C-alpha cells in the first residue's frame, strides 16, 4: 500500500496538455466572470443526445472543469445557463423562471441545433420555439449533438482559459 501511495505522490497529476484555445469574440458579460463560470444545465425538451456529450465534456477525458467551467445544481449559484433542446410548451415558463433566478451578469448558451433553431423538431405542435425565442442567447454551439471538443471550446471562450 505504501508503495502505491508513494508512486501516486511522485507521479502527480497526469493529464494531456490543453489544446490551443480558439480565438474568437468573448461575450462582454464573460469578462466579469474572471476566468471561472458556474453553469446550470437546463433540458428544455431535448432527445438527450446533447446531455450525453455534456457528460463527456465534463468527464475525465475532456475535463472542462480544468478550464474554469463547473456544473452547479441551482440557478441561484450559476453564472450561466446551458440550454439543450427546443423549448417545449411545458418548459417555456420553467426556462424563463430559471433564467430570472440566475444573477446578473448572466450568460445563456444554446447547445445543439435544436436549441439554436429547433432542429428536427421545428414546427412540432409541442414546441414553443428555439431558446432565443424565449430568452436572450449569448453563445450558440452548433451540432446534432455537438462534440465534446466543441462544447469545451465554447466554455473556454467564456472563461478565457
Residue range 31-85, pLDDT digits in tens:
667 678 999 999 999 999 999 999 999 998 888 999 989 999 999 999 999 999 9
Q: Which residues contact 159 (CB under 8 A, 6 or more apart)?
A: 30, 33, 35, 36, 37, 67, 68, 69
Identify which of 39, 48, 36, 128 has the alpha carbon closest to the alpha carbon of residue 84. Answer: 48
Q: How far is CA 56 from CA 37, 53, 96, 145, 151, in A?
A: 18, 5, 27, 12, 10
| pLDDT at position 20 over 80 | no
Residue 113 has pLDDT above 80, yes or no: yes
33 and 109 Cβ atoms separated by less than 8 Å? no
Q: Which pLDDT does position 70 carry in this prediction?
A: 93
Reply yes or no on whether the pLDDT at 6 is more than 90. no
Looking at residue 150, its pLDDT comes to: 92
pLDDT value for 159: 86
Separation of alpha carbons 160 and 36, rounded Å: 9
In which band, very low, low, confident or very high, does the pLDDT at 30 lie, cut at 50, 70 and 90? low
Amino acid at each position: 500500500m505504501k508503495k502505491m501511495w508513494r508512486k501516486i505522490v511522485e507521479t502527480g497529476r497526469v493529464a494531456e496538455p490543453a489544446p490551443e484555445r480558439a480565438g474568437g469574440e468573448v461575450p462582454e458579460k464573460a469578462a466579469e466572470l474572471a476566468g471561472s463560470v458556474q453553469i446550470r444545465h437546463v433540458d428544455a425538451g431535448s432527445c438527450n443526445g446533447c446531455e450525453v456529450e455534456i457528460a463527456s465534456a465534463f468527464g475525465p477525458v475532456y475535463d472542462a472543469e480544468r478550464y474554469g467551467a463547473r456544473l452547479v445544481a441551482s440557478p441561484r449559484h450559476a453564472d450561466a445557463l446551458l440550454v439543450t433542446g427546443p423549448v417545449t410548451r411545458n418548459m417555456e415558463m420553467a426556462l424563463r423562471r430559471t433564467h430570472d433566478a440566475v444573477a446578473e451578469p448572466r450568460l445563456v448558451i444554446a447547445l445543439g441545433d435544436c436549441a439554436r433553431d429547433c432542429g428536427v423538431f421545428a414546427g412540432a405542435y409541442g414546441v414553443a420555439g428555439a431558446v432565443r425565442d424565449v430568452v436572450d442567447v449569448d453563445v450558440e454551439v452548433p451540432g446534432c449533438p455537438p462534440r465534446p471538443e466543441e462544447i469545451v471550446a465554447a466554455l473556454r471562450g467564456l472563461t478565457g482559459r
